[in-house]
């Protein structure tokens, strides 16, 4: 029935196992009931979860934004090329440049030749990354609060057969230490509580596994936390925040994640501030990027870490 093995699901309230109960799932611990869509997506973003109202409102906001901006209807040629639409379709889109670059670094540095990994993406939307995990024989689970058939997890069927679960990144419905890699792309800044989302992503990752937040827009230390560029999305109910790079770094470190690399998500060197520091072997790029992002106005940054304990 569900797109994921039921043994992998846990109640986001009490962490107990869930069991099939007719067309629904029922928690063995607290008895709460979770729906499942016709296409097998378990609905684990329960309305009683903290912040559920705001998160479900955000999901509606994305639909409105996509419809008003003309990208609601899926285009197979585009979806097949994501995230590399600049390279493959000749686009000149800075967002996809940064998403694509950061994702390629995740594959090149932290996956390398490994196959058969257990991988979780938080805030996956259509789950365009699925094709890269499936071709590496990975058990991929895509989660998001957005399940729409055209721009949400429902569209994931286009990429093949893999796990899709409606879930809140701040209350993940999975057991501890399950995944080899847990990551998100441009999603951490939607968390109502950044530290909580990083804590949850870390909890479900195996010790030694990779926890990464790719392409997060960060603000310089002296910049306002109200980024005017986000106002239109906020007006639609989308939960937008702009944290400093050090707030992200702290959220990782506090949760026991050692940062292995922090860099500009578009791959550009941290110029001018931080450039010379970035040339220092090993930790240089991380330190140079943190200096650069602290001095910059707004810049996209990617964080790659390892769960240490």
Ligand X SMILES: C[S@@+](CC[C@H](N)C(=O)[O-])C[C@H]1O[C@@H](n2cnc3c(N)ncnc32)[C@H](O)[C@@H]1O
State the residues that interact with ligand X by CB under 6 A: 55, 58-59, 62, 99, 122-125, 144-146, 168-170, 185-187, 190-191
Placement of tokens 């791959």 in the chain? 267
Contact 32, 173 (CB under 8 A): no
Question: Applying CB under 5 A, which part among 4-12, 81-89, 151-159, 224-232 lies near Zn ion?
Answer: 4-12
Residue 30's binding partner among ligand X, Zn ion, none (Cβ under 5 to 8 angstroms by kind) is: Zn ion
- The entry of ligand X, Zn ion, none that residue 27 binds, CB within 5 to 8 Å by partner kind: Zn ion
Instruction: Decide if residue 14 touches Zn ion (CB under 5 A).
Output: yes
For Zn ion, the binding residue among 17, 24, 29, 253 (CB under 5 A) is: 29
Question: CB of 190 within 8 A of CB of 217?
Answer: no
290 and 254 in contact (C-beta within 8 Å)? Answer: no
Q: CA–CA distance from 269 to each of 27, 119, 221, 256, 266 (Å)?
A: 49, 29, 19, 28, 9
Nearest distance from C-beta of residue 223 to ligand X, angstroms: 20
> Cβ(238)–Cβ(292) under 8 Å?
no
In the complex, minimum distance from the CB of residue 161 to ligand X, in angstroms, rounded to a whole number = 20
User: CB of residue 306 vs Zn ion: minimum separation in angstroms?
Assistant: 30
Would you count residue 284 as binding Zn ion (CB under 5 A)? no
Residue number, 138 or 151, with CB nearest to ligand X: 151
**Would you put residue 267 in left (φ > 0), alpha (ψ -120 to 50) or beta?**
left
Smallest distance from the beta carbon of 288 to ligand X, in angstroms? 25
- Among Zn ion, ligand X, none, the one that 145 touches (CB under a kind-dependent 5 to 8 A) is ligand X
| Partner from ligand X, Zn ion, none binding residue 106, C-beta < 5-8 Å depending on class | none
Nearest residue to ligand X, using CB? Answer: 123
125 vs 204 by CB, closer to ligand X:
125
Per the structure block, which two tokens stand in for 24? 């629904």
- CB nearer Zn ion, residue 27 or residue 290: 27
Residues facing 168 on adjacent strands = 171
User: Which does residue 29 touch among ligand X, Zn ion, none (CB within 5 to 8 A, set by kind)?
Assistant: Zn ion
User: Within 10 A of 252 (CB to CB), how many other CB atoms are there?
Assistant: 26
On the 0-12 / 13-18 / 19+ scale of CB atoms within 10 A, 85 is: buried
| Smaller CB separation from ligand X, 99 or 210 | 99
Residues 30, 207, 221, 308: which binds Zn ion (CB under 5 A)? 30
Binder among 4, 8, 9, 11 for Zn ion (CB under 5 A): 11
Q: At which residue do the structure tokens 């860099």 appear? A: 263
Euclidean distance between CA atoms 102 and 224, whole angstroms: 26
- What value, to the nearest 5°, has the Cα angle with vertex 195 and ends 62 and 176? 95
Query: Quick one: tokens of 216?
Result: 């997060």
Show the tokens assigned to 66: 């996509």
Nearer to Zn ion, 12 or 213 (CB): 12
Binding site residues, Zn ion, CB under 5 A? 11, 13-14, 16, 27, 29-30
């Amino acid at each position: 029935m569900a797109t994921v093995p039921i043994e992998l699901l846990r109640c986001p309230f009490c962490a107990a196992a869930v069991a099939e109960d007719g067309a629904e799932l029922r928690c063995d611990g607290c008895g709460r009931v979770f729906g499942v869509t016709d296409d097998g997506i378990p609905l684990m973003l329960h309305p009683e979860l903290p912040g559920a109202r705001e998160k479900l409102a955000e999901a509606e906001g994305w639909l409105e934004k996509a419809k008003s901006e003309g990208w609601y209807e899926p285009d197979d040629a585009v979806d097949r090329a994501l995230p590399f639409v600049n390279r493959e379709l000749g686009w000149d889109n800075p967002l996809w440049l940064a998403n694509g670059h950061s994702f390629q670094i995740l594959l090149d540095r932290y996956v390398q030749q490994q196959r058969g990994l257990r991988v979780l993406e938080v805030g996956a939307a259509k789950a365009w990354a699925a094709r890269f995990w499936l071709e590496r024989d990975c058990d991929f689970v895509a989660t998001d609060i957005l399940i729409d058939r055209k721009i949400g997890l429902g569209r994931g069927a286009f990429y093949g057969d893999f796990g899709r679960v409606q879930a809140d990144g701040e209350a993940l419905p999975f057991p501890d230490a399950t995944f080899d890699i847990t990551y998100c792309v441009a999603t951490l800044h939607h968390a109502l509580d950044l530290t909580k989302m990083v804590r949850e992503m870390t909890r479900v990752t195996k010790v030694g596994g990779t926890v990464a937040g790719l392409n997060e827009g960060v603000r310089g230390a002296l910049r306002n936390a109200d980024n005017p560029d986000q106002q239109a999305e906020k007006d639609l109910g989308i939960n937008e925040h702009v944290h400093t790079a050090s707030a992200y770094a702290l959220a990782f470190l506090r949760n026991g994640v050692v940062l292995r690399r922090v860099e500009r998500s578009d791959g550009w060197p941290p110029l001018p501030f931080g450039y010379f520091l970035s040339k220092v072997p090993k930790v240089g790029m991380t330190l140079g990027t943190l200096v650069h992002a602290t001095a910059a106005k707004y810049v996209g940054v990617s964080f790659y870490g390892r769960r240490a304990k």
